[in-house]
Amino acid sequence: MSGLPLSYPVRNVRARLRRTALTIGVIALAVIATSVFLALITSLKRTLVASGSPDNLIVLRKGSDNDGSSMLSYEAYQVLRYLDGIATLPDGTPLVSAEKVMQPFARTRAGGRENILLRGVDPIALAVHDEVHVVEGRMFRPSAGEIVVGRGVAGRYADADVGADMFIGKRTWRVVGIFESGGTSFESEIWGDLRDIARDANTFPYSGVRMKLAPGTDRQALIERIDRDPRYALQATPEVDYYAEQAKSAGTLYLLLVILAIPVGVAAGFGAANTMFAAVQSRTVEIGTLRALGFSRGTILRSFVLESVVISLIGFVVGAAGTLLVAFLLRIALGGIAFGAQTFTINVVTLRVSLRDLEAALVFATAIGLVGGLLPAWRAAHLRPVEALRKA
């Protein structure tokens, strides 16, 4: 006899429906627990770390960590606009965006109160931050009290809907659009007209300046030139570095989640493998019978491991569906998960389950199936048939 037919494991799964359902359930739960956690980690990472464009610089007042606490004058902005090495639009307009940032109160849909990041920009900002796209409604018009809100904001805050009037800080704004930036922290912001917002803040005209470098520009030389200008105490940083620095403040959180993900995975995996283990072990007699009938160890082993893996994969599919459902329900219930950054503004992290997260869960589930099936099957297959039969 060369091999057990493929239908043997499939029939076994059917024959032991209750036990199989339990095993699938445990694996599905393990998959959900770990992949919700993984999704949280990757979503967080995407928001906090992946923000910023590689050929952008951010210029702030020397000593400021972030544009929320920086102040820049009109003169400084004009000087920065006409530096060499900055990319321009076809009509010659330099890709330099002066921005005013402030964090007034906004009301969440749940009725809470949070500091929200309000960024005043000119239309040029969309060319400088080329990852930002208005996906619903339209861009705001200058000096009309209009704003566009990030995707995360739209989910989390009251009245952040196109066409609605949204009360932020001291006044009401008309929401005219929703923008996305591929999940980065801009999606936690509200953008409005620079002058409108500067008037509302009633302090220095600008917080900082973002600029896009022309291809081939010596970035380091330009940074040094800005930093050394004696008239204005300025400090230029590559935008990517700036966000990486901002994300560092979330490092604790990130580290914590990673520390926690490990035991979650181990606990869930242990349990699932144990269930699997038990399922195979309870069939020692059956394995003995098969051996007595003359099937080889390898054949039996292959068949049982295949069965375990099949069960794991079904568990994974159920678990993956469960994960998407849980993430969806969490999104509806929470409207994005908020994290206070260092500046007390809120970063809205949208919980998105990426293909990566599911891939990791797939590897996880398969490993559970392999280990949980292989160990006991190997043990049973190496018992002498008589011993295995006596275990009745």
Partner 1 sequence: MRFLPLILRNLGRNKLRTGLTGVAIGLAVLLVCFFLTMPAGIDVFLSQIASNVRISVHHKGGLVYQMPFAYVNKIRAVPGVVAADGVVWFGGAFEEAGHVTFPSFAVEPEHVGAVWPDYHIDPAALERFRRFRDGAIVGRQTMEKYGWKVGQQVSLRSTIWPVTLTFRIVGEIPNARSPLFWFQREYLAQAIHEHGWTLSIVGIVWVRIADPALVDGVMTKLDAMFRNSPAETAAETEKSFFASYFGSLQGFVAIILVVTGLVALCVLCIAANTASMAVRERAREIAVLRAIGFGRGLVFGTLVAESTVLATVAGGTGALLTYAFTAGVKLAAGGWSTQLGPLSGFLVSPAIVGQGILLAVVVGLVAGIAPAYGAAHRPVASVLREVF
Interaction site with partner 1 (CB under 8 A): 22-23, 25-26, 29-30, 32-33, 36-37, 40, 61, 63-66, 69, 102-105, 108, 110, 112-115, 169-170, 201, 233, 249-250, 252-253, 255-256, 259-260, 263-264, 266-268, 270-275, 277-278, 281-282, 326, 330, 333-334, 336-342, 344, 346, 351
For residue 274, the minimal CB distance to partner 1 (Å) is 4
Of 37 and 77, nearer to partner 1 (C-beta) is 37
Q: How far is CA 259 from CA 67, 198, 338, in A?
A: 31, 42, 20
Q: Which of 51, 175, 189 is nearest to 120 (CA)?
A: 189
Of 295 and 364, nearer to partner 1 (C-beta) is 364
Give φ, ψ of 109 to 5 degrees.
Answer: -65, -25
Strands (E), the chain: 56-61, 96-102, 105-107, 113-115, 117-121, 133-137, 146-150, 165-168, 171-180, 189-193, 208-212, 234-238, 337-340, 346-349
- Most distant pair of Cα atoms in the chain: their distance: 93
Of 111 and 216, nearer to partner 1 (C-beta) is 111
Which tokens go with 79? 């000087």
For residue 311, the minimal CB distance to partner 1 (Å) is 13
For residue 211, the minimal CB distance to partner 1 (Å) is 22
For residue 302, the minimal CB distance to partner 1 (Å) is 23
Of 102 and 211, nearer to partner 1 (C-beta) is 102
Q: Is 347 exposed, middle or buried (0-12, 13-18, 19+ CB in 10 A)?
A: buried
For residue 125, the minimal CB distance to partner 1 (Å) is 21
Of 14 and 391, nearer to partner 1 (C-beta) is 391
Looking up tokens 């566009």, which residue turns up? 148
For residue 269, the minimal CB distance to partner 1 (Å) is 9
Of 36 and 160, nearer to partner 1 (C-beta) is 36
Q: Which of 70, 1, 16 is nearest to 234 (CA)?
A: 70
> Positive or negative CA dihedral for 357, 359, 362, 366?
negative
